[in-house]
Structure 1
Amino acid sequence: MIADVRRTRAGLFAAFAGLGVTASFVPAVLPTAERDVDSDLSVAVPALFAGLLLGVLLSGALLRARPGRQVLMAGSALQALAIGGGASATNAGIFIAAAALAGLGFGLVEASGSIAAKAAVSGSATGLLSALTGTVAVCAAATPLLIAAGTGMPAALSALAVIPVVAIVLLIRAPDAAPAVRVSKPGGRILLRLLPFALALPLYVGVETVISGWSAVIPARALALDPGAAALGTSAFWALMAIGRFGAAALRTRGIRPGLILWISSLGAATLLGCAGALIAPAPGWALVPLAGSVIALAPSYGLVLGLALDRLSTAQSTAATGALVASGAVGGTMIPTSLLLAGHSPASGVTFAASAVLCLLVPALTALGRRRASGTVMASQK
């Protein structure tokens, strides 16, 4: 029994390490891939999130039909294939398809891995999930360093696929916690009350995707950096995100209200993004300074918005609502970068940063509206 638990946990940590690799692989390798195929691959970022959206949507049906361990293994396999294909891509189509496949695998692992983590502990899964998400951040920050060292060597970059493969090997021997997942659906009235949150999340995720997905492309184009050096922009992004998230957690322990943190951080991010947009043309090097600051300010938003949306729901309702809210966020990660590209705006342009600043301001406003409507739902249900 103890050996089974250890195998399950080892497989989970390897699977979440694979999520970290996937999260930063596509953004960090973009400049190198653009050089190798001689094409603009900015669209690979929304393709990644389109795959993620599909993975999240498919996970519900798959988890009802198959054990979570099998879905977890399938998602890890897709990520391994995507990393290998993306590292050795010879044309733009192959790389974009690999990005979409990576997102699909990511979505499957994220959903099934969270459920497997809950099943792997007898009490609260908070500690295990915190350790798993920490593993994601560490691997996401480390992956660009390996990409920078392996620039020009596709075989070396393909070696990153070993991480999700290790997860598959470990999970093969792990037991199935349950044959399927039963999820209760929240009522239509609750979904309607959550609508403002479902609108705020894609706006935030879209802004984060603009910065994270193009975290290597932006410095590469703004400063004409070597692709290997530009890949470090993705590593810097994840390090700054960690600072912002841990900072927000510290504020919460001091009793600062989450709504207040969200307003202050969103206003700060909007101001800094506006400064970056104003500086990107005349002083691109200086523009990266407020852009870096905006990442720290943005970092707490996702957890705050999602937490405020779910804190008045029951556990069963939260399980179903979380999937819907995560899916809505993924829509923003696809649509907002795509809209900017279709409008003809470069990732490293003043308009891109200005549009992101405006969207930042809408996030806390929609969240505040959602909190009032959610409170009304709770009061009505208690009568």
Structure 2
Amino acid sequence: MTDDTRRARAGLFTAFAGLGVTAAFVPAILPSAERAMTADLSAAVPALFAGLLVGVLASGPLLTRQPPRTALILGSALQAAAIVVVALSGTPSVFIVAAAIAGVGFGLVEASGSVAAKSLATGSATGLLSALLGTVAVCAAVTPLLVAVGSPARAPLGILAIVPLLTVAILSAAAAPSAHVEVPAQRDVRGLLVLLPFAVALPLYVGVETVLSGWSAVIPERILAVDPGLAALGTSAFWTLMAIGRFGAAGLRRLSVSPIVILAGATSVAALLMAAAGMLVDSAPVGALVALAAVVVLLAPSYGLILGLALDRLDPTRSAAVTGALVACGAVGGTFVPTLILLIGRDPASSTTFFASAVLCALVPALMLVAARSPQRTSTAS
């Protein structure tokens, strides 16, 4: 492995660490910011996801003209700037705009980082992506704890911007690629059809994950009627469980366990446990929470495995052009699935919420089994 390759891998891991900080920082700091500004900042969360979708969509044309390193540097710089502004902001409008900018940077890094992971992986991209997403989970689990300690004075929390700034420093020092990625003159539409199961599975999974992560504090608060301050630790618990699941999957991949086996098996069991949580939530709330904790661990590696399996079917040129669209599918699911579940179940901690999530979960292994029978790699059109 050359020095430039080592530097690129180090920059990739710090970039995903920055994603973890951003993913947890804005939601975690909301209560203290609302108290300081005496304003409702709920719009910051949808602004963050809207920015993420913009960043993912912008990554498509950018990645077909520039190497992933460019988007990684740009996205990390945007996140660093947004973290500082969020920490220092004194008005709701500035806070919400900064959250949206953080989302744009997040989307750029997530999409370009997935492309870079494919080029740096030895063999399948699933193992490296699982490790990278485990890094996201670890940093996201630690960030709320730091916010809880520093929330009485928000400004010092701007120091968290150092994480994405490390990516800018590391990747800026790396040697520039000798050539940019070129786009095929034509698209092989029939070849791209093999990605359809992944394009459907991603929004289903991301939607269910968003239900569990977005309401990771609300669910224990309502099920156990605990203090909101204590319930906030549910967010750290969620990301800790995600880290366990993602690093566990990375270990299984190093033992040469098939990603399809990991994904289909874990999501099938998760669907059953999610349904069990729905049955237990009223009669045995603690049992329901234990079942949900197991669901988080089982579902944790799904995103990296689904995306990695899709990228394994693409050559490097096509992966740059298509990854943005695949990640965008996930972002759409993260927006619409929780909204749909709320319309059906009304309460994030209701049995209906868990039953609906279980149904969506059960569709993922079915889609992956369909994908397993598809051709393993798309061809590039001449």
Both structures adopt the same fold (TM-score exceeding 0.5)? yes
- Aligned partners of 1:131 and 1:254: how far apart in 2? 14
- Aligned partners of 2:23 and 2:188: how far apart in 1? 33
- Aligned partners of 2:376 and 2:59: how far apart in 1? 31
Query: Match of 1:245, SS?
Result: helix
- Aligned partners of 2:144 and 2:301: how far apart in 1? 23
Q: Find the counterpart in structure 2 of residue 140 from structure 1.
A: 140
1:31-70 matched pairs, under 5 angstroms: 31-33=31-33, 37=38, 39=40, 41=42, 44-66=44-66, 68-70=68-70
Report how far residue 146 of structure 1 moved. 0.8
Query: Match of 2:264, SS?
Result: helix
Describe the superposition over 1:338-361 as per-residue Cα deviations: whole angstroms up to 9, x where unpaired. Answer: 334456734333332222111101
| Contact 2:80-2:161 at 8 Å conserved across structures | yes
1:84-123 matched pairs, under 5 angstroms: 84-87=84-87, 95-113=95-113
Q: Is residue 267 of structure 1 aligned with residue 265 of structure 2?
A: no
1:171-182 matched pairs, under 5 angstroms: 171-178=171-178, 180-182=180-182
1:1-383 matched pairs, under 5 angstroms: 11-33=11-33, 37=38, 39=40, 41=42, 44-66=44-66, 68-87=68-87, 95-113=95-113, 133-178=133-178, 180-184=180-184, 186-223=187-224, 225=226, 229-252=230-253, 256-281=257-282, 284-341=285-342, 345-372=346-373, 374-375=374-375
| Contact 1:141-1:239 at 8 Å conserved across structures | yes
- Aligned partners of 1:281 and 1:46: how far apart in 2? 30
Report how far residue 256 of structure 1 moved. 5.0
| Contact 2:55-2:103 at 8 Å conserved across structures | yes
Describe the superposition over 1:40-92 as per-residue Cα deviations: whole angstroms up to 9, x where unpaired. Answer: 83x65454333222212101222344565443332123212332344456676
Unpaired stretches in structure 2, ≥5 consecutive residues: none
Report how far residue 105 of structure 1 moved. 0.4
Describe the superposition over 1:137-165 as per-residue Cα deviations: whole angstroms up to 9, x where unpaired. Answer: 33222212212222333123333223223
| Contact 2:134-2:242 at 8 Å conserved across structures | no
Identity of aligned residues (%): 60
* Stretch moving more, 309-318 or 360-369: 309-318
Name the amino acid aligned to 1:193. Answer: V
- Aligned partners of 2:376 and 2:131: how far apart in 1? 35
| Contact 1:148-1:228 at 8 Å conserved across structures | no
Change (3 A) 1:363 1:91: farther
Name the amino acid aligned to 2:153. Answer: M
Query: Match of 1:194, SS?
Result: helix
Change (3 A) 1:110 1:296: same
Name the amino acid aligned to 2:233. Answer: L
Name the amino acid aligned to 1:275. Answer: A
Name the amino acid aligned to 2:323. Answer: T
| Contact 1:27-1:234 at 8 Å conserved across structures | no
Unpaired stretches in structure 1, ≥5 consecutive residues: none
Report how far residue 16 of structure 1 moved. 3.0
| Contact 2:15-2:164 at 8 Å conserved across structures | yes
| Contact 1:28-1:215 at 8 Å conserved across structures | no
Report how far residue 298 of structure 1 moved. 1.0
- Aligned partners of 2:358 and 2:65: how far apart in 1? 42
TM-score with structure 1 setting the length: 0.80
Change (3 A) 1:356 1:45: farther
| Contact 1:244-1:297 at 8 Å conserved across structures | yes
- Aligned partners of 1:357 and 1:199: how far apart in 2? 16
| Contact 1:45-1:214 at 8 Å conserved across structures | no
Report how far residue 222 of structure 1 moved. 4.1
- Aligned partners of 1:23 and 1:313: how far apart in 2? 28
- Aligned partners of 1:266 and 1:87: how far apart in 2? 38
